[in-house]
Structure 1
Amino acid sequence: MPQARLATMRRMRAPDPFEMNFARGTMLAWDPPAPRPDAPALVLLHGAACGAWVWAEGFAGRLAAAGHAVFAPGFSAQRNGAPAGLGDYAADARAAIDSLHRRVVLVGHSLGGLVAQRLLDAPEVAGLILLAPAPPEGLAWANWRLAMADPPLWRAVARMTEAGGTAAEAAVLRRALFGPGMPEALALHHLSRMGRESRVALLEAQAPQPVPPAWSLGKPAVVFGGRRDPLVPPDAVVRTAAWHAAPFALLDGMGHAMMLDMGWEALADRLAGWLEESFK
């Protein structure tokens, strides 16, 4: 990204979000204060046990300040009284995209990254940005390795489908989700907002997924992961990038929840730079 534009983006006040309705729910939206001509809109898809709120802590506003209209739908872990599946999440995201009537770039984190990859062949989708994404191969191998290497963390993740949680589980989740520089009070604040996840969606995410490679569709993609992320480990990030023939970066000092972690501003700026280069 040109340095002058990057400096302007950093000075510009991030817009406040507002809520929009669409056919299957609601989403948060941010209008860019200075829209970039012909820039695609960004649809941000959150990960497991989270919601659209994870993008509203600053990340989405910074992308809007870079000139993009930004939208963040939420996934409902229940559909018609039963746990939702990945197909339900994909339908939620697809309905949000359809409501915009414009080309979009999907930004998917973790489980939302898997949903984003499943939607890559939609005609409105122009590109893909993945943050610590669940890989096309599924999470079974990463999950098994986590169970062997860190049983307390594996148990804490498994309990994401249940109500409540212990202080010990919060402590082990904290070290997985956030880097060592994250203040404890802020980490616990974010953890307190996380809720139950659908056991069906998590179970389905263990298996290989119907994900088309980005290169086969002629759509640009980029992948970011944490160098010490135990939930989506670096080798899974590298294989996801290879599947899409996409560049990737492994980030030091950031945990799995990188849009909330210390250094999120620099990561948002990297996304904005990639978007400017890819969609001139």
Structure 2
Amino acid sequence: MLEVIDKGCVSEAHPVPLLFVHGAWHAAWCWDDHFLGYFADLGYRALAVSFRGHGGSSSDKPLRACGVDDYVADICSVADGLPVSPVVIGHSMGGLIVQKYLENRSAPAGVLMASIPPQGNYGSSLRWLRHRPWDAIKMAATGKALPYISTPERARQHFFSETTPQHVVDDCAARLQEDSPRISVDCLILRLPRPKRVTTPLLVLGAEHDGAHTCKEVRATARAYATEAHFFTGMGHNMMLEPGWKLVADHIHRWLGGRGL
């Protein structure tokens, strides 16, 4: 059973539901803090799913064996249960999962927030190896990343800006959980997106102080989908949890409204 946090109802102004997709080490809670209530109050139906083995979602196999295809299947499971195809909004690894989902599914629109680019997580992995080689070696040897991202110091480096209030960083760090080592390999080389198969219009968003994906990588994502990236100054990777989250949500709302959604 998948955990789905479901808020609000569709309205005449916003007849299409929004499905939010989290990134690695997170779960549906990262959308529930701000985004779901924000969009529900504006007349949207807003849902967030936790991938199998994350948050309150169970799994029929060990988490370490779960890969991109499993997480795509989770999105399909939720989307197929809705009256109409939802707008899909993915963050970080969830952005790559959204890209893979859209290879074979049509959607009214999609949003990629600080997403892994179509060329994969190579750049982020290389930076990790360069700056913290011993951590990278231990992660590769053990298949466990949580010890190296879940302290407040590391969580700030990876997910937040230098000015994010400490209580926001601490709260996120306490809720992070281990993810599948297989998904890391899938996102590095094995199951990369094929942009030419995606016909859904996409909004690509980036953060100025993203500790995971550079502005150059976000622009490459936008180019792959024949659009331009929009960046938020002063923000870190977890754009939905940063103090300026409403700027991001407002931008998505305006973009969707411009498309009649």
TM-score normalised by L of structure 2: 0.87
Alpha-carbon distance in structure 2 between the residues aligned to 1:267 and 1:160: 36
Instruction: Give 1:188's match in structure 2, choosing from 170, 176, 179.
Output: 170
Contact 1:47–1:109 (8 Å) recurs in 2: yes
Q: Between the two proteins, what is the percent identity of the paired residues?
A: 25
Instruction: Give 1:74's match in structure 2, choosing from 19, 43, 50.
Output: 50
Matches within 5 A, 1:225-240: 225-240=206-221
The 3 A distance-change label for structure 1 pair 167 and 231 is: closer
2:77 is paired with a residue of what secondary structure?
helix
Q: Answer yes or no: is 1:242 the counterpart of 2:223.
A: yes
Q: Answer yes or no: is 1:257 the counterpart of 2:233.
A: no
Alpha-carbon distance in structure 2 between the residues aligned to 1:47 and 1:225: 14
Alpha-carbon distance in structure 2 between the residues aligned to 1:242 and 1:278: 20
Contact 1:44–1:55 (8 Å) recurs in 2: yes
Deviation at 1:131, TM superposition (A): 0.5
Alpha-carbon distance in structure 2 between the residues aligned to 1:167 and 1:273: 34
Alpha-carbon distance in structure 2 between the residues aligned to 1:146 and 1:275: 35
Contact 1:137–1:209 (8 Å) recurs in 2: no
The 3 A distance-change label for structure 1 pair 117 and 267 is: same
Alpha-carbon distance in structure 1 between the residues aligned to 2:259 and 2:105: 17
Alpha-carbon distance in structure 1 between the residues aligned to 2:162 and 2:229: 23
Instruction: Give 2:21's match in structure 1, choosing from 32, 45, 49.
Output: 45
**Counterpart amino acid of residue 242 in structure 2:** D
Contact 1:120–1:127 (8 Å) recurs in 2: no
- Residue 96 of structure 1 corresponds to which residue in structure 2? 78
- Gap regions ≥5 residues in structure 2: 54-58
Alpha-carbon distance in structure 1 between the residues aligned to 2:135 and 2:201: 34
Contact 2:145–2:179 (8 Å) recurs in 1: no
RMSD: 2.8
2:221 is paired with a residue of what secondary structure?
helix
Contact 1:120–1:212 (8 Å) recurs in 2: no
- Residue 200 of structure 1 corresponds to which residue in structure 2? 182
Matches within 5 A, 1:1-280: 24-32=1-9, 35-37=11-13, 39-77=15-53, 79-81=60-62, 83=64, 84-149=66-131, 151=133, 162=144, 165=147, 169-207=151-189, 209-213=191-195, 217=199, 219-279=200-260
Contact 1:181–1:262 (8 Å) recurs in 2: no
Contact 1:224–1:237 (8 Å) recurs in 2: yes
Give the number of aligned pairs: 255
The 3 A distance-change label for structure 1 pair 186 and 82 is: closer
Deviation at 1:174, TM superposition (A): 1.2
Deviation at 1:271, TM superposition (A): 0.5
Contact 1:109–1:131 (8 Å) recurs in 2: yes
The 3 A distance-change label for structure 1 pair 149 and 163 is: closer
Alpha-carbon distance in structure 2 between the residues aligned to 1:191 and 1:160: 21
**Counterpart amino acid of residue 131 in structure 1:** M
Bigger strand share: 1
Deviation at 1:270, TM superposition (A): 0.6
- Gap regions ≥5 residues in structure 1: 1-23
Deviation at 1:204, TM superposition (A): 1.0
The 3 A distance-change label for structure 1 pair 214 and 30 is: farther
Contact 1:156–1:173 (8 Å) recurs in 2: no
**Counterpart amino acid of residue 50 in structure 1:** H
Contact 2:157–2:211 (8 Å) recurs in 1: no
